[in-house]
Amino acid sequence: MLDIIQELLTHSPFSQEAIALFLECDQSTISKWKSGDRKMPAEKFEKLCHLVGYSLEDYAQGKPLSIKNVAHFRSDSLSNEDLNALAELNKMAANLAMLERLSNENK
């Protein structure tokens, strides 16, 4: 799990400061998760996945990181409200993709 956390934090379009704000933690905690000095709680991992658009289904199946961000742009001036909205959009997009996949499998 450490490798995927490092990849999510490294390849995220969001600054470490924005991620810390979104996950409601200190920037030093983000650094510790990234370096492996501290374990990331599951609920923070899930939130981070939604923020960057990485599917939890892909993670569970061991698929490589593929950030599918609905809104992928520079995030220097996004508020926490903006980040929460992006996370919800990415979560909905992942759910729609899963429903499409299930629908196609049942045909």
Q: Which has the closest alpha carbon to 5: 25, 28, 33, 46? A: 33
Domain that includes residue 82, residue range: 2-105
| CATH code of the domain in which 76 resides | 1.10.260
Q: Tens digits of per-residue pLDDT, 58-80?
A: 888 887 776 655 454 555 577 88
Contact between 72 and 52 (Cβ < 8 Å):
no
pTM above 0.85, yes or no: no
The reported pLDDT for the residue numbered 11 is 79
What is the pLDDT at residue 38?
Answer: 93
CB 19 within 8 A of CB 5: no
State the pLDDT at residue 29.
95
User: Of the candidates 27, 21, 1, 2, which has an alpha carbon nearest to the alpha carbon of residue 82?
Assistant: 21
pLDDT score of 44: 94
Q: What is the pLDDT of residues 1-55, one digit of tens each?
A: 668 888 888 878 888 888 999 999 999 999 999 889 999 999 999 999 888 888 8
Q: How many domains does the structure of the chain reveal?
A: 1
Q: Confirm if 80 and 22 have CB atoms less than 8 A apart.
A: yes
